[in-house]
Amino acid sequence: MLTRYGVRTAVGHNAAMPAISWAVPDPRVLALRIRLRAVRMVAPQGFGYLGQALSSCGSLGQGLSAALGFALADRFRGSDARIFTMVSDGELEEGQVWEAALFAAHHRLDRLVVLLDANNSQVDGPVDSITTLEPIAAKWSAFGWHAVDVDGHDVAAVGSALAAAIAERERPSVLVCRTSTRHGLDCLPPDADGHFIKLPPSLAAAATAELTGKLEALRA
Ligand SMILES: [Mg+2]
């Protein structure tokens, strides 16, 4: 029996990633889609036309609740599905996330894996200037989760952490992925707003040139 996977994004704008992956005609992505077989998404209504979204993500903070509901339903059905859910750090300011974390740990939803985008950025500014969340992994651990910190830009490290999470049989897992919205664009000033980066024309041209150069280097 093939393992089925679900991808749920609690953060609406992250829905673009799995949605776009569905539309990319790259054979490697196609192979991934075949392997996943059933990628089901929690996504904003705007992505519903893609036909892959089972439900809207709702307001910020509700996505994890939806994901664990799907995970619990899969258990009742005898399915071996795994559920991967993307959550943001700013979203942790919502109490519903912690209610969901308690519920998932109580029910030992070991098939549930959260990828937490810990970029210290939210719409209001740096997260740590709005609410102190640290130590994030320790909080999830205290709630009964398998929790690890990982460099979110290190694909191999994230892969290893995912493998450990998939092997976990007692607890739900959370990968606290440390990321930066400026990652990959060295031309951006260090104080560039991480949530909404509005580039003046000269900086936009520099960013385009930098990304084009990196893309060409990858293709070389
Ligand atoms: Mg954030």
Sign (positive/negative) of CA torsion 57, 117, 167, 19?
Answer: positive
For residue 117, what is the DSSP state? E
- For the ranges 48-62, 119-133, 201-215, which has the lowest average pLDDT? 48-62
Local confidence band at 192 (pLDDT 50, 70, 90 cut-offs) = confident
CA of 120 to the centre of ligand 1 (A): 5
Which protein residues have their CB within 5 A of the ion that is ligand 1? 88-90, 119, 121
Alpha carbon 143 to chain centroid, angstroms: 20
Yes or no: is domain 5-180 CATH 3.40.50.970?
A: yes
pLDDT at 134: 97
CA of 183 to the centre of ligand 1 (A): 14
pLDDT at 81: 79
Give the residue carrying structure tokens 């450990």. 164
CA of 74 to the centre of ligand 1 (A): 29
CA of 112 to the centre of ligand 1 (A): 21
CA of 117 to the centre of ligand 1 (A): 6
CA of 131 to the centre of ligand 1 (A): 12
Q: Which percentage of the chain shows pLDDT scores above 70? A: 73
CA of 45 to the centre of ligand 1 (A): 21
Local confidence band at 86 (pLDDT 50, 70, 90 cut-offs) = confident
Per-residue model confidence as pLDDT tens digits over 21-72: 555 555 555 444 444 444 444 444 334 334 444 555 567 788 888 888 888 9
Encode burial over 66-100: b for 16+ CB neighbours within 10 A, e otherwise: bbbebbbebbeeebebbbbbbbbbbbbbbebbbeb
CA of 2 to the centre of ligand 1 (A): 34
Task: Look at residue 148 and give its three-state secondary structure.
Answer: strand
Q: What residues contact 37, with CB distance under 8 A and at least 6 apart? A: 2, 4, 5
CA of 126 to the centre of ligand 1 (A): 8
One-letter amino acid at 193 equals D
Read off φ and ψ for residue 61, nearest 5 degrees.
Answer: 105, -10
pLDDT at 13: 55
Over its C-alpha atoms, the chain yields an Rg (Å, rounded) of: 18
